[in-house]
A and B are shown apart, each in its own frame.
Chain A
Amino acid sequence: MAAVARGRALRIDGRDNVATIVEGVAAGDVVDVDGGVPVVAVEAIPAGHKVALADVEPGGQIVKYGEPIGVATRSIRRGGLVHVHNVASQRGRGDLGR
């Protein structure tokens, strides 16, 4: 059986549910997480982008640096790419008319 490719990601704070991918990974790659447990990428994730370390329900907070950076707009699977397609900012949103 072919060896599974391994990637690496950096988790900054123990509260974070995302980690930053160091070199781009493909679906099925095992990603070792500095400061966390390994996760299997469920899709391709480019370098500098974020992988989910846990399942997140719509409306759930995304946490990086131990601080909220936005809210999930749809279900995010552990190992999935976390980016503008499934996360929304909660700040500076004149369009929300708060």
Chain B
Amino acid sequence: MTGSFPGYARPTGRVGVRNHVLVLPLDLVANSVVRQVKRRVPGVATVELPFQPDPADPVVWPPVSRTLLGYLTHPNVARAFAVFATDDHGLVAAARAQGCPVEAVSMAQLGGLARTVEVLALQAERALGEAAAAPRQPVPVAELVVGLECGGSDGFSGLTANPALGVASDLLVAAGATTILAETTECIGAEHLLARRATTPELGERFLRLVHAAEAEAMTLGVDIRGAQPSLGNIAGGLTTIEEKSLGCVHKGGHAPLTEVVAFAQRPAQRGLVFMDTPGHDIEQLTGMVAGGAQLVVFTTGRGTPTGSAIAPVVKVATNGRTFRKMQANMDLDAGRILTGEASLESMGHEILEKLLAVAAGEPTRSEVMEESEFALFRGHEGAWPL
């Protein structure tokens, strides 16, 4: 594999695959500002908050603040504007301390909604022009962080797209890059396979405790996890139990050693294959991995899940030809060709890697073309789980 691709070198030493201008709300009331700025300046990347972040909440604030800070400091972002009512809760200073060019946009200081939209639209327009003019330059593949995700899994996920993605993950890891496996509940029944690959016995133990906490949470509710795991869609696709779903799910991580376990939206400190504690919910997981620094995400899907991120390209891989053809406008690659013998796991793995490098160099994914952009905040279980 070539050691570099045309990307954006950041002052922080991280590299971007896109040069987005991000307008991020830090308060619910800032959603309106963001929505109106997006209407005036369609080129900006935006997300909207699903609930009011509360710095006084010891459980919810840590994952939420990590998510917001992770977006403000994301390497795919050339310049970020943080929009808030009166208080940014220290997030702008924290982002700037990392060397990221983040502007604080206070609605109270600017004089309310209309004036804030007016000023911000002008600034965003100018920032977009600067971002568009910035040239790409060779940056190391080893600086890539790639999120590994599956959603709407079916009986073929563990046979085609997931193991092929595992091949791509192993190639990335061999090149010095980082891949993030996530979804703690989707490790139930397969945790021993991943724990065995941990670089230290302590790390393996920590990972096992985490998965068992996820299982125990389901148990203490006095119910059977099967109501949601596997989901009705998974069952219709041929998956029978959570064990079966998990065993197919962890194939995305290939065979590389597990180097680190991080909390939701936490940036990995190690390279190689990293596990992030996230819920199984597709959008929360996607948001967590992107906030943790993933510049790219590969999303395998059996049933056909259309989703994307405002700031990170998502490469969609269908697990079977039927879904690929049915949702061709949403899909980038067809791993169903492994079933027909037109491709092997190895060749498909290389195809995924080539696609990732092309996308990293600027080729738009189907999710970018379709302008699919989802965002969610995870309320977390800070302190309650053994991380």
Contact = CB atoms under 8 A, between A and B. Distances in A.
Interface residues of B, number: 35
A49 B223 CA distance: 26
Interface centre among A50, A64, A92, A96 (most CB of B within 10 A): A92
B222 A87 contact: no
Contacts of A47: 155, 238, 320, 322
B225 interface: yes
B238 A67 contact: no
B176 interface: no
A69 B238 contact: no
Contacts of B223: 94-95
A6 B375 CA distance: 46
Contacts of A84: 235, 240
Contact of A92 (B158, B188, B193, B339): B188
Contacts of A65: 158, 247-248
Given A48-B155, A70-B244, A83 B238 contact: yes
A89 B238 contact: no
B247 A89 contact: no
Nearest to A64: B244
Interface string A51-75: 0000000000010110111100000
A95 B222 contact: yes
Nearest to B222: A94
Nearest to B248: A65
Contacts of B339: 10, 22
A68 B243 contact: yes
A16 B258 CA distance: 26
A83 B193 CA distance: 24
Given A47-B320, A69-B189, A94 B240 contact: no
Nearest to B250: A65
A38 interface: no
A46 to B, nearest CB: 7
Interface string A17-43: 000111000000000000000000000
Contacts of B220: 94
B211 to A, nearest CB: 10
A94 B244 contact: no
Given A48-B302, A84-B235, A94 B247 contact: no
Nearest to B218: A92
Contacts of B221: 94
A51 to B, nearest CB: 11
A95 B237 CA distance: 25
Given A20-B156, A91-B225, A92-B224, A49 B238 contact: yes
Given A49-B238, A83-B238, 8 more contacts: A50-B240, A65-B158, A70-B244, A87-B241, A94-B219, A94-B223, A96-B224, A97-B222
**Leading 7 A-B pairs by shortest Cβ distance:** A92-B225, A48-B155, A48-B238, A89-B241, A94-B219, A69-B244, A49-B238
28 contacts: A20-B238, A47-B322, A48-B155, A48-B238, A62-B240, A65-B248, A67-B189, A69-B243, A70-B241, A70-B244, A83-B238, A87-B241, A89-B189, A89-B224, A89-B226, A89-B242, A90-B243, A91-B188, A91-B215, A91-B225, A92-B215, A92-B218, A92-B226, A93-B219, A94-B220, A94-B221, A96-B224, A98-B219
Interface of A: 10, 12, 20-22, 46-50, 62, 64-65, 67-70, 82-84, 87-98
Interface of B: 154-156, 158-159, 185, 188-190, 193, 215, 218-226, 229, 235, 237-238, 240-244, 247-248, 302, 320, 322, 339
